[in-house]
Amino acid sequence: MEAVIAGVPGIAFSLASQDKPLGVSTDYGPAGQIAALVAKKVLEEGLAEGVVLNVNIPYLSVEAMKGIFVTRQGLRVYRDALDRRVDPRGRPYYWIGGEAPTGVNEEGTDVGALAAGYVSVTPLQLDLTHYKAMEMLTNWEWK
């Protein structure tokens, strides 16, 4: 997103490495190949101003990946826990922890694509304004 703020096409890549077998070192090779493919395509085609691509890559070999889907952002479920701790000087501080977030496996979303073995490419924008709600709120009587 910082790239987009600076007027540069932005791409964020994430590898679903939590899906790899325990005790196995992470192999970034297939994700690197996908990243190169996406970056090359962005350089060839360009992106509209203000768009950042969020690319999620399954932890699979390139051959095992089923393809690339353009998706919408899926719903993440966070189960955060706030843990009060005390530093060596006796002052309290708070550690945010909890379980790793999960996602709602819905077709057409980045979460659904990853679960099905696809790379997801989700175009995002910085403006999160909900314009329909904005229209509704302007009609409220604010007294």
3-state secondary structure of 105: coil
The pLDDT of residue 43:
94
Quote the tokens at residue 79: 């189960």
Among 38-42, 74-78, 89-93, the least confident range? 74-78
Sequence letter at residue 138? T
The pLDDT of residue 91:
97
The CATH superfamily assigned to 2-76+103-138 is Survival protein SurE-like phosphatase/nucleotidase (3.40.1210.10)
| Domain limits, the chain | 2-76+103-138
Q: Rounded to the nearest 5 degrees, what angle is found at the Cα of 97, between the Cα atoms of 94 and 103?
A: 145
What average pLDDT does this structure show over 17-27?
A: 80
Q: Rounded to the nearest 5 degrees, what angle is found at the Cα of 72, between the Cα atoms of 69 and 76?
A: 115
The pLDDT of residue 99:
78
CA nearest to 32, candidates 17, 21, 19, 43:
17
User: What distances in angstroms separate CA 132 from CA 115, 126, 136, 137, 139, one per listed residue?
Assistant: 31, 17, 6, 9, 12
Inform me whether the pLDDT recorded for 105 exceeds 90.
no
Return the higher-pLDDT residue of 64 and 105. Answer: 64
The pLDDT of residue 113:
96
Is-above-0.85 flag for pTM? no
Q: Rounded to the nearest 5 degrees, what angle is found at the Cα of 99, between the Cα atoms of 85 and 61?
A: 135
The pLDDT of residue 71:
97
Inform me whether the pLDDT recorded for 87 exceeds 90.
yes
The pLDDT of residue 19:
67
Average pLDDT of the residues of the chain: 91
